[in-house]
Structure 1
Amino acid sequence: MKRIFLFLFLISSTVLLSQTVLTSYTIDLKNKIDQSEIMTGENTATHDVFVFATSADSLSILKYNSAVFLRDKFVTSRQYTENRSLMGYSFSEDGNPTLYWFSKEEKTIILIKYYLESKTIRALKFQIPLDENYLLANYQKDNNFYLLLQSKTKQALTAFIFKNGMAEERFLDFSSFKFIDRKTQPKTFNQVLNENPIEKMDSGEYNPLYKVSAKSKLYTLPNRLILTLDQSFRKTQLFDINLENQEIKEKTFMKPIGNKNPKTTNSFYHENKLYQININADELLFDIKDYSSGVSIKTFAVSKDDTIRFSNSPLLMQIEDRQPKQLKNTAKFLKVLSSLDAGLSVYKNQKNLFITLGGSGSDLKSISLNGFNFNDPFGDFPSNSYYNIETNYSAFFESIWTKKLELTKETQEPFAADKVYYFLDSHKEAILPYTLKLSNYTILSYYDIVAKQLVLRKFADGFN
C-alpha cells in the first residue's frame, strides 16, 4: 500500500506539489522496455550523481556533479551481462563505479568496474552460496555494496561487503542466543526469521506502514547493522551487529504493560532511540526509550475514551489506495487497529520528526462467479468458479514532533515520497522510476516514453 494522505485528494492544482526538472538526456530504449532498467546513485565521497540506464543490448553511464550538470558519460555494450539484472552499485576510491549484475539461474554476480576516463571495463565473477543460504537483502552504504544471506542449516547470517573490487565475508553466528515466540515457546533463530521474514528499513527515508509492520526489521548503519525482533508480546529483542569485528551484542527492551493483554505490538529504531507500541481494543501504549540506557524518555497511555493528544492528523482508515476515511473516535480507531499488524515509522527531515502510528493487514475473500452476469464468450470460466481476492487495509494517524521530542500542533505536509507517487500516478508516460534520497531532497529518475528521454526531477518535503 502506498502512503497517501487526505490532502492529496483535496489538491486541485499541482502547483502545491511542484517539482523541478534537473536535467534530461535523450536516449532510445528501442521499445524493449521490459529488458530495460534505470538506477541512480550518489558517490558519497564526491557527491557526484550517477545514472545507470540499461537496455537489452547497451548500458549508458551518466556522471553528474553535485549541481547535477553532466560531466562525463560512458556508453557501452552489455558484454558479460546478457540476461542479467542490475542489482546494485558501489564506488571505488578513484571515483569510478562498479555495477553488480545478478543471475538467479547461475546464482552468480558479475562485478564490472567501469573506467570513465579510459572507457574501459574490468569484469569479475562472484559465486553466491545460495545452495546453503537464502538471499535476504542487498543495499548500498558509504560507497560499498552489501549482500546479506540467511543460512538454511546454521543459526546465522552472512554479510558480504564489496569495496574496491574485493568481497569481504562476515559470518554472524546467532546460535548462542535464545528466542521465544508470542506464546513464550522456545524457537531457533531460523524459525523466528522463517515465521517473521526480515524487512530492511530504508535509511534516512520514510518507511511506509506495510514495511514497518514487519516483526523482524533490519536497519543499516555505517559498518553496523541493527536487527530488531518483535515476535514476542513482552519484549523487543535487539541485536547490534558490528560488521568490522563480527561482534553481536544483544539488548532487550521490555514493552509497556497495560491493563489487558495486547493484541498487536511492534517497535521502530531511530537514531539511538527505540519507539515501542502495545495495542488492544481498549488501550494504546506508546513508549520511547533511550537506546544506551533503556530508560523511557516519553510514555503515553491512551484509553478508548481518551483523545490522542499527540496526534496531528485525523484518525484514518484506508482500503487499498482509496481515499482514507476518518474514524469518529479513539474507540473505533483502536478496534480497527487491534485487528491489524501494528507498526510505527519514524522519519526526520531538516525541520521536524514525523511519526506514523498505525497498522496494516489484508483480508482474503473467495468470490463465486456463479450467478454473475459475467461476459465469457470463450467459456473459459465454469459457472461454479471461485476466485480469491485480497484486500489490503491500514489504519493510522500522524504525529509531528520537534527534534528534541517536544509535541507540536503543526499540520501534516507532504513528503517528497508523496509527491513522487502523485507525480507518477498523474504521468503515465514516466516509466522505470527510481528514487535517490540526498541530504535535502529526492531525485526521481525515469524514462519518458513519449519524449524518449531520461529525466531527473527534484522533489522536496513540504508545500512549495
Structure 2
Amino acid sequence: MKKLLLFISFVFIQGFAQTLVSTQHLELKKPWDKRQIICISAEDGNAFYSFASDKQRIYALKYNQALFFRDSLSTTRPSKDVDYIAGTSFDSSGNPFVYWFSEDRSKIVSTGFDFSSRKSFEYPTSVSFEKETFLNAFSAKGKFFLLTVSDEEQQLFLRCFTDGKPELHTLDFSKFELVSQKGKKFKLAEFFEGNPLQFIEPEVFCPLNVAASVAKLYVSSDSLVLSLDHDSRFSQFFLIALSDFSVKEIRNNQPELSIENTTSANSFIVGQSLCQLRFSDKELALSFENSLDGNTEPVVYRTKVEESISFKSSPLFVQNGNNKSSEIKTTAKFMRRLENSNPAISAYKSPQGILVTCGGVKQTMNTTNVILGATLGVGMIAAGGGSVNPGDFLDASVLQQVYFESLFDDSFKFDTKDQLPIASDFISQFLDENDDITTYSVGRFGKSEILTYYDSKDKTIVLRKFTDVSNDDLFGN
C-alpha cells in the first residue's frame, strides 16, 4: 500500500513539478546538426537568456525574472572557422556573451548582445597550443573560463572572459607534488593526460559517470577548487583564489578500512562539505565532513561484505548503458560488481536533505554481442571466412554503473524517510518520452532547472521549468 500511495503521489506531482513557461516562434534553418542551444541565468537572477543558432544566424532571447519573454536580438553566425558554442558570460553592464570554439579550440569567437542599444558585437581570440594543452572550458560566476596546462612547467593557465576578451592568469604549482600511490612523481601535463579534468556544475545533480572522474573542478564563492583522487589514502585539493590567483593545497585522509592493501576511493564536494567513498573487496566506508581541511570530526558509515548496508535509501542497483536498472540482492554480489570499477560518489542538496549516490563505474562488453561475436567467429571459420574479424560485429563496450542512494540531513545523519524525485529525474523522463527533441540545454534559475529546447514541428523555442519535490508538495502541507 505504501508503494502504491507513493506511485500515485509521484504521478500527481509529476505535473506539479514541471511547468511550461514560454513558447516563442523561431524558425531554425536546416541542417539539424548545425542547430545549437545554450541558456544561462543572469547573476542577479532578474533575467534569463536562451541562445539558439542555425547554420546562418544566432538568436538571443531575453526573459524576465518570471520567465516571461521580453525581447530578442539576432546576428550573423560567426565564420565557418568556429564550430560550436562552448559557454557564456556577462560584461559589467549585464550584456550577455556567447563563446564559439573551433574544433581544435585554437580559435574563439565571442558574440555579445546589447539589448538597450539593440546592437551585437564580435571579438575573435586565438590560443596557441604549441606549449600548452587544453583541460576544460566552462561558465561560472558570470564569466567564461578556459583552463590549460603547460607542457613544460608546473603551471596551469587560466583565461577569464567577461566582455568577450580574455585575461590570462598563470597558476603556479611548482611547490606542490603529485605522487602516485606507488611513489611515482607526476608532472602536471603528464597527470592530466591520463586523468581528464571534469568540471562539476554547481547546484545541479551530477551523474555518477561524471562523478567517477579522478580529477574534478568546482567553483565556490571566491575560488576554484581542483580535486584529485589518484591515491586511495587521501583526497588532494588545490584552492585557486579568484582574487589574486594564488594556489593553496589541502589534503584530507580517506576513511580507514580494516584491510587497506587494495582499496579504491573518490570524493565529491557539495556546498562547503566533503563526501568521501572508499572500498575494498571486503568493506565499504562513506565519510562526511563540513569542510575540506580535515579539521572537523568526520561522520563515517561502514559496512562489510557479509552485512546488509544499513545506510541506504534505495536497493542496490546495476545499470548497463541506457537500459533500466536491475536490483542486486546482496552486499556480497554488490561488492563483486564493484571489482575493477572506478569508484564514484555524487551528492546533491535537495529539499529533503543531501542525496548521496555512490558505487562504481566501468566499461563492460555487452553480453549479447559477445555471444554473437563468438558464434559468428565459429561460423566464419567453418565457412572459410577467416579474413573477417568477428570483433567488427561487436558494439563498443557498455558503461556499467553499480550504485545505491542514501539520504542524509545537513549534519549527515542518515534519514530513513522515502526519497522524493528531483528536477533532473523529471527532465530525464521528459526527454525519454520526447526523443524527437535533439537540440536543448538545461540551466539553473533560482531553485528550478529550465529546459530550453527547439520544437521543430511548431518552430518554437520552448522553456519548461522543473523543480525538486518536497514533502510539502507530496502531502499538500
Q: TM-score, normalised by structure 2?
A: 0.88
Aligned to 1:279: 279
1:458 to 453, 465, 471: 465
The worse-fitting range, judged by mean Cα deviation, of 287-296 and 62-71 is 287-296
Relative to structure 1, the CA distance from residue 82 to residue 17 in structure 2 (aligned partners, 3 Å threshold; closer, same or farther) is farther
- Residue pairs, 1:256-271, within 5 angstroms: 256-260=255-259, 261-271=261-271
Aligned-partner Cα distance in 2 for 1:111–1:199: 23
Q: Is the 8 A contact 2:45 2:446 kept in 1?
A: no
Relative to structure 1, the CA distance from residue 12 to residue 318 in structure 2 (aligned partners, 3 Å threshold; closer, same or farther) is farther
Q: Structure 2: which 5+ runs fail to align?
A: none
Relative to structure 1, the CA distance from residue 12 to residue 134 in structure 2 (aligned partners, 3 Å threshold; closer, same or farther) is farther
The residue type equivalent to 1:460 in the other structure is T
Name the SS of the counterpart of 1:301 in structure 2: strand
1:423 to 427, 430, 434: 430
For residues 246-302 of structure 1, the C-alpha deviation after alignment (integer angstroms, 9 at most, x for no partner) is: 211111112222122233211112223222221112111222233244333201221
- Residue pairs, 1:310-459, within 5 angstroms: 310-364=311-365, 367-368=373-374, 369-370=376-377, 383-387=388-392, 388=394, 389-459=396-466
Q: Is the 8 A contact 2:109 2:124 kept in 1?
A: yes
The worse-fitting range, judged by mean Cα deviation, of 54-63 and 106-115 is 106-115
Aligned-partner Cα distance in 2 for 1:30–1:186: 52
- Superposed displacement of residue 384, structure 1: 4.2
Aligned to 1:220: 219
For residues 228-255 of structure 1, the C-alpha deviation after alignment (integer angstroms, 9 at most, x for no partner) is: 1111122211111112212111111122
Q: Is the 8 A contact 1:263 1:339 kept in 2?
A: no
Which one has a larger percent helix, Structure 1 or Structure 2? 2
The worse-fitting range, judged by mean Cα deviation, of 313-322 and 127-136 is 127-136
The worse-fitting range, judged by mean Cα deviation, of 293-302 and 318-327 is 293-302
Aligned to 1:58: 57
Q: How many residues align structurally?
A: 451
Name the SS of the counterpart of 1:309 in structure 2: coil
Aligned to 2:76: 77
Aligned to 1:95: 94
Aligned-partner Cα distance in 2 for 1:183–1:359: 22
Aligned-partner Cα distance in 1 for 2:19–2:283: 45
Aligned to 2:28: 29
Relative to structure 1, the CA distance from residue 34 to residue 354 in structure 2 (aligned partners, 3 Å threshold; closer, same or farther) is same
Aligned to 1:148: 147
Aligned-partner Cα distance in 1 for 2:173–2:449: 37
Name the SS of the counterpart of 2:252 in structure 1: strand
- Superposed displacement of residue 314, structure 1: 0.7
Aligned to 1:17: 14
- Superposed displacement of residue 23, structure 1: 0.5
Aligned to 1:161: 160
- Superposed displacement of residue 383, structure 1: 4.4
Q: TM-score, normalised by structure 1?
A: 0.90
Q: Is the 8 A contact 1:272 1:292 kept in 2?
A: no
Relative to structure 1, the CA distance from residue 105 to residue 307 in structure 2 (aligned partners, 3 Å threshold; closer, same or farther) is closer
Aligned-partner Cα distance in 2 for 1:342–1:429: 34
The worse-fitting range, judged by mean Cα deviation, of 106-115 and 238-247 is 106-115
Q: Is the 8 A contact 1:114 1:121 kept in 2?
A: yes
- Superposed displacement of residue 90, structure 1: 1.1
Aligned to 1:138: 137
- Superposed displacement of residue 381, structure 1: 11
- Superposed displacement of residue 358, structure 1: 0.8
- Superposed displacement of residue 372, structure 1: 6.2
Aligned to 1:288: 288
Aligned-partner Cα distance in 2 for 1:331–1:184: 32
- Superposed displacement of residue 11, structure 1: 8.8
The residue type equivalent to 2:217 in the other structure is L
For residues 435-461 of structure 1, the C-alpha deviation after alignment (integer angstroms, 9 at most, x for no partner) is: 001221110011112111111111111
For residues 105-144 of structure 1, the C-alpha deviation after alignment (integer angstroms, 9 at most, x for no partner) is: 5812122322222222222221123222222112222211
Relative to structure 1, the CA distance from residue 77 to residue 381 in structure 2 (aligned partners, 3 Å threshold; closer, same or farther) is farther
Q: Is the 8 A contact 2:82 2:108 kept in 1?
A: no
The worse-fitting range, judged by mean Cα deviation, of 271-280 and 97-106 is 97-106
The residue type equivalent to 1:430 in the other structure is I
For residues 140-183 of structure 1, the C-alpha deviation after alignment (integer angstroms, 9 at most, x for no partner) is: 22211111112222222111111234422111121221121132
- Is 1:189 aligned to residue 194 of structure 2? no
- Superposed displacement of residue 356, structure 1: 0.5
The worse-fitting range, judged by mean Cα deviation, of 43-52 and 362-371 is 362-371
- Superposed displacement of residue 52, structure 1: 0.6
Relative to structure 1, the CA distance from residue 384 to residue 333 in structure 2 (aligned partners, 3 Å threshold; closer, same or farther) is closer
- Superposed displacement of residue 56, structure 1: 0.8
Aligned-partner Cα distance in 1 for 2:272–2:389: 56
C-alpha RMSD of matched pairs (Å): 2.5
Relative to structure 1, the CA distance from residue 258 to residue 20 in structure 2 (aligned partners, 3 Å threshold; closer, same or farther) is same
- Superposed displacement of residue 55, structure 1: 0.9
Aligned-partner Cα distance in 2 for 1:103–1:412: 43
- Superposed displacement of residue 79, structure 1: 5.1
Name the SS of the counterpart of 2:286 in structure 1: strand
Relative to structure 1, the CA distance from residue 58 to residue 288 in structure 2 (aligned partners, 3 Å threshold; closer, same or farther) is same
Name the SS of the counterpart of 1:386 in structure 2: helix
- Superposed displacement of residue 36, structure 1: 1.1
The worse-fitting range, judged by mean Cα deviation, of 188-197 and 13-22 is 13-22
Using the aligned pairs only, state the percent identity.
26
Q: Structure 1: which 5+ runs fail to align?
A: 1-5, 374-379
The residue type equivalent to 2:272 in the other structure is N
The residue type equivalent to 2:73 in the other structure is F
